[in-house]
Structure 1
Amino acid sequence: MTAPPAGSSASDTKLDAAVLKIASVVVLGAIMSILDVTVVSVALPTFMSEFQASYATVAWTMTGYTLALASVIPLTGWAADRFGTKRLYLTALVLFVAGSVLCSLAWDVTSLIGFRVLQGFGGGMLMPLGMTIMTRAAGPQRVGRVMAVLGIPMLLGPIGGPILGGWLIDVASWHWIFLINLPIGAVALITAFVVLPKDSPKKSESFDFVGMLLLSPGLALFLFGVSSLPETGTAASARVLVPGIVGVALIAAFVYHAVRTDHPLIDLRLFKNRQLTFAVLTMTVFAIGFFGAGLLFPSYFLQVHGETTLMAGLLLAPQGLGAMLTMPIAGQLVDRIGPGKIVLVGLVLIIAGMSVFTQVGVDTGYPLLLGALFVMGMGMGCTMMPTMTAALQTLTDHSIARGSTLMNIVQQAAGSIGTATMSVILTSRIIAPEGAPEGTTGQPDAEMLAQLPPEVQQSVLGSLADAFGDTFLVAMLVMVVALIPAAFLPRTKSAQPTDPTAVSMH
Structure 2
Amino acid sequence: MSQVRDDRLDPALLRLIGVTLLGGIMGILDSTMVTVAADTLAEEFHSSLSAISWASTGYLLALTVTIPITGWAVGRFGVKRLWLFGLVVFLAGSLASALAWDMASLIGFRVLQGIGAGVVDPLVLVILARAAGPSRAGRVMGMMGVVLSLGPVLGPVLGGIVLQGLGWRAMFYINLPIGIIAALLALRVIPSEPAGEHKSRAPLDVLGAALLAPGFAATVYALTQAGEKATFGTPTVLVPLAAGLLLLFVYVLHALRARRTEPLIDVRLFTSRSFAASVTVQGLVGLGTYAGLFALPLYYQVIHDHGARAAGLLVAPLGMGSALAMPLAGRLSDKLGARKLVQGGAVLAAAGAVVLTRLGDGSSEVWSALAALAIGLGLGAVGAPTMGSLYRTLPPEKVPQGSSVLYNLNQLGGALGVACVALILAAAGTGGVAGSGISGFQHAYWFVFAVAVVILVASPLLPGRPEAAPAPAEASGSEPRQALVE
Common fold, TM-score beyond 0.5?
yes
C-alpha separation in 1, matches of 2:149 and 2:451:
22
**Which residue is equivalent to 1:317?**
316
Task: Indicate which of 224, 228, 240 corresponds to 2:225.
Answer: 228
Note the 1:279-298 alignment, pairs <5 A: 279-298=278-297
Unaligned stretches of 5+ residues in structure 1: 1-7, 433-440, 444-459
SS of residue matched to 1:151: helix
Note the 1:335-414 alignment, pairs <5 A: 335-414=334-413
**Which residue is equivalent to 2:171?**
177
Change (3 A) 1:424 1:176: farther
Task: Assess if the C-alpha contact under 8 Å between 2:94 and 2:110 holds in 1.
Answer: yes
1:128-159 deviations in Å (ceiling 9; x for gaps): 21111122122222111221222231244256
C-alpha separation in 1, matches of 2:98 and 2:298:
22
1:8-30 deviations in Å (ceiling 9; x for gaps): 97832212121111111111122
SS of residue matched to 1:23: helix
C-alpha separation in 1, matches of 2:107 and 2:297:
20
CA shift, 1:231, in A, is 5.1
SS of residue matched to 2:405: helix
Task: Indicate which of 248, 253, 267 corresponds to 1:251.
Answer: 248
CA shift, 1:425, in A, is 3.2
CA shift, 1:170, in A, is 3.2
**Which residue is equivalent to 1:82?**
76
**Which residue is equivalent to 1:37?**
31
Task: Assess if the C-alpha contact under 8 Å between 1:158 and 1:317 holds in 2.
Answer: no
1:317-337 deviations in Å (ceiling 9; x for gaps): 322332333222111111101
Identity %: 39
Task: Assess if the C-alpha contact under 8 Å between 1:41 and 1:295 holds in 2.
Answer: no
**One-letter amino acid of the counterpart of residue 289, structure 2:** F
Change (3 A) 1:501 1:310: closer
TM score, norm. by length of structure 2: 0.86
Change (3 A) 1:357 1:56: farther
Note the 1:67-78 alignment, pairs <5 A: 67-78=61-72
**Which residue is equivalent to 1:213?**
210
Change (3 A) 1:27 1:493: same
1:360-393 deviations in Å (ceiling 9; x for gaps): 5554312112211221221132111221112111
* Residue 146 (structure 2) pairs with residue 152 (structure 1): yes
C-alpha separation in 2, matches of 1:478 and 1:54:
35
C-alpha separation in 1, matches of 2:3 and 2:399:
19
CA shift, 1:341, in A, is 0.9
**Which residue is equivalent to 1:455?**
none
C-alpha separation in 1, matches of 2:103 and 2:360:
32
Note the 1:90-101 alignment, pairs <5 A: 90-101=84-95
**Which residue is equivalent to 1:119?**
113
CA shift, 1:51, in A, is 7.0
**One-letter amino acid of the counterpart of residue 212, structure 1:** A
Higher mean alpha-carbon deviation, 374-383 vs 73-82, is at 374-383
SS of residue matched to 1:67: helix
**One-letter amino acid of the counterpart of residue 337, structure 1:** L
SS of residue matched to 1:295: helix
* Residue 193 (structure 2) pairs with residue 196 (structure 1): no
**One-letter amino acid of the counterpart of residue 405, structure 1:** S
1:49-98 deviations in Å (ceiling 9; x for gaps): 77788877655544433322221111111101110111111121122223
CA root-mean-square deviation: 3.1
TM score, norm. by length of structure 1: 0.83
Unaligned stretches of 5+ residues in structure 2: 471-477
C-alpha separation in 1, matches of 2:102 and 2:360:
35
Change (3 A) 1:469 1:53: farther
C-alpha separation in 2, matches of 1:422 and 1:428:
10
**One-letter amino acid of the counterpart of residue 251, structure 1:** L
**Which residue is equivalent to 2:155?**
161
